[in-house]
Amino acid sequence: MQNKIVVRYQDGRLTKGFTTDFMPNKDVFHVTPADASPGAKTVTVNMLELKAVFFVKDFVGNAGYDDKKDFDPKKPVSGRKIKVAFKDGETLVGTTQGYQPGRQGFFVFPADPLSNIERFFVVSLAAKTVSFL
């Protein structure tokens, strides 16, 4: 299955594209850039260089939209509420079912149901703090 992703590096770079081999426990995976011509070579991505991998609805998104960091009190949540503060100053809020300190990373589902992000994989080395809400 092909996943639509945005790869954010710790140094600020980003790559938009598709992957078929992302595995959270692997050190590398491959991305076919979104603007690549058919049959183009994939880009090898080293997990240790990343901030996060965002699985997105589309590549355009809405630059003017600021994801909400609060949960709807009328809707139940699946998993534990979590806040991730990255070393670059960005903070994201969502739910997780797989956070364990010491692991390479973990998945988070955003608190905002209108977010362009379906889920994201946080690379633990890029997180400054992780706290449960």
Sign, CA torsion 109/112/123/57: positive
CA distance 108 to 121: 6
Report the pLDDT averaged over residues 76-102. 94
DSSP for 10-45, written as a single string: TTS-EEEEEES---TT-SEEEEEETTPPTTPPPEEE
Supply the pTM of this predicted model: 0.94
pLDDT tens figures, 91-118: 999 999 989 988 999 999 999 999 999 9
Rounded (5°) CA angle 37-43-45: 150
pLDDT tens figures, 22-76: 999 999 999 999 998 888 899 999 999 999 999 999 998 887 888 888 898 888 8
The 8-class DSSP code of residue 86 comes to: E
> C-alpha distances in angstroms, 78 versus 82, 92, 95?
12, 17, 7
The pLDDT of residue 63: 79
Q: With 90 as the cut, is the pLDDT of residue 6 above it?
A: yes
